[in-house]
Amino acid sequence: MQNLKDKSLLKKFSYINGSWHSSESTINVTNPATNEVVATISNAGIDETNLAVAAAKNAFKLWSAKSANERSTLMRNWFNLMMENQDDLGRILTLEQGKPLAEAKGEIAYGAAFIEWFAEEGKRVYGDTIPAPSGDKRIIVIKQPIGVVAAITPWNFPNAMIARKAAAALAAGCTFVVRPDVQTPLSALAMAELAEKAGIPAGVFNVVVGDDAIGIGKVLTEHKDIAKFTFTGSTAVGKLLISQCASTVKKVSMELGGNAPFIVFDDADIDAAVTGALVSKYRNAGQTCVCTNRIFVQKNIVDKFTGKFVAAVKELSLGDGLSDGVSIGPMITEKAANNVQKLIDDSIAQGAIIALGGSNSLGENFLTPTILTNVTNNMPIANNEIFGPVSPIITFKGEDEVLALANDTEYGLAAYFYSRDIGRVWRIAEGLEYGMVGINEGIISNAAAPFGGMKQSGNGREGSKYGLDDYLEIKYLCMGGLDK
Ligand code: SIN
């Protein structure tokens, strides 16, 4: 942290109602590449969470009454500050999360892009007029901010997952309380510092950092003054949080787990497919819910694809994300690395073969980029969300077979396929039961596009013009007595 240009970005307290709150107990934030403590921060709990909700409720009156233009100007300031501080924010992110510095800076730009996007989109919250069933009436539809929004966000994108939710909420006129993952709180607190510098009023954006996940989670899901709850994380935790939200009938949006198929047909541009698989699988060391989880390759091209893919993955350089030339960092914890290693070992026991990697070469948190062949769809490496740098390759013969295999999962977040046959492109795109489909493309996430899943991968959409809907109420006004 010594190398930060602006040391004021390193915050150690929760940010509530425009001020920094210390607590007696503390949490250590560690660097996943070295296990060294990079910061010790205050450990907030239920009381601080209640304070943050009260602050957000109070600030809602003022923030929702501002014009969309006024909110947009402040959000644009926030975007500018994030981009001006991209180097420092990237460095903080790498130190707490582990991803390579270039990728971390990319995440800052990705997160900031949501703030920029929604700063503009907030000006386009249009209502409607509807022809009434009788001449003495008029039907008008207006959209209003839903109220206080609570969010719980994950460690894999400590900046962008907050930005994607907060930007839509603030643009719609809502106020926001977030509990970032305690493994990666520093990015969230740096965002709060910049929100304050940008002029976002006290109480509009609050960050509560605490390790009492259950207690804080209960406040954020059950508090009567919170109108909407949004979560990015695992499907198992998402289900629990949805059930907690039921007691106050909160609107929820959930970005949950995935098991993305990546299908390569024999008419594909194989080099393009190799590049697509590389980026969609090994981004963030495979710790992304849209990461490729299963690679399906048509049988007659499997040797050609696998040979080129192994050669490309061999070029990845594993190491500390702050070191030059590193393209893939550590897993978030040793436990996470061990979980992935177990999926590899259990699948090998069932017949999978290591084509590359398969071992833990640099120490406890590091997993070598791995490719497994001879995999079937029911092996542990294929029917679990891997969340690590492992590519299982499964062969198939025809379209119907691969569609059935690809859809044979409870998840429905992202899918990818490579083909140059226009008829096949439409058949597969329409047949995949996934909320997002990359067609001849391995990177699909951006602020202009609707991010979200089907089935048990969640509900609601983030980013894009659809991303505001979750933060707005539709109100119908019926104007009567208009007869002369
Ligand atoms: C996620 O892993 O939750 C988000 C990934 C993305 O936005 O691309």
Q: pLDDT per residue over 36-62, tens digit each? A: 999 999 999 999 999 999 999 999 999
Percent of the chain surpassing pLDDT 90: 98
- Asked whether 107 lines ligand 1 (CB < 6 A), one says no
pLDDT at 360 over 80: no
Query: 186 alpha carbon to ligand 1 midpoint, in Å?
Result: 19
Confidence label for 84 from pLDDT (cuts 50, 70 and 90): very high
- pLDDT, position 73: 98
- Asked whether 293 lines ligand 1 (CB < 6 A), one says no
149-206: pLDDT as tens digits: 999 999 999 999 999 999 999 999 999 999 999 999 999 999 999 999 999 999 999 9
Query: 289 alpha carbon to ligand 1 midpoint, in Å?
Result: 6
- pLDDT, position 80: 98
Confidence label for 364 from pLDDT (cuts 50, 70 and 90): confident
- For the segment 73-101, the average pLDDT, to the nearest whole number, is 98
Residue whose CA is closest, atom 6 of ligand 1?
Answer: 445
For ligand 1, what atom is nearest to the CA of residue 110?
7
Query: 162 alpha carbon to ligand 1 midpoint, in Å?
Result: 11
Query: 298 alpha carbon to ligand 1 midpoint, in Å?
Result: 28
For ligand 1, what atom is nearest to the CA of residue 258?
2
CA distances from 325 to 105, 117, 322, 328, 427 (A): 15, 32, 9, 9, 41
- pLDDT, position 1: 73
- pLDDT, position 361: 63
CA angle at 225 for the pair 222 and 227, rounded to the nearest 5°: 80
- Asked whether 159 lines ligand 1 (CB < 6 A), one says no
- Asked whether 232 lines ligand 1 (CB < 6 A), one says yes
| Set 96, 121, 255, 385: catalytic member | 255
pLDDT at 2 over 80: no
Residue among 191, 200, 127, 131 at smallest CA distance from 161 = 191
Residue whose CA is closest, atom 3 of ligand 1?
Answer: 289
Q: Is 315 a catalytic residue?
A: no
Q: Is 289 a catalytic residue?
A: yes
Confidence label for 358 from pLDDT (cuts 50, 70 and 90): confident
302-340: pLDDT as tens digits: 999 999 999 999 999 999 999 999 999 999 999 999 999
Residue among 149, 429, 453 at smallest CA distance from 290 = 453
- Asked whether 157 lines ligand 1 (CB < 6 A), one says yes
Q: Cα(385)–Cα(413) distance, rounded to whole angstroms?
A: 11
124-152: pLDDT as tens digits: 999 999 999 999 999 999 999 999 999 99
The model's pTM is 0.97
- pLDDT, position 362: 66
CA distances from 29 to 12, 37, 38, 84 (A): 10, 6, 6, 25
- Asked whether 464 lines ligand 1 (CB < 6 A), one says no
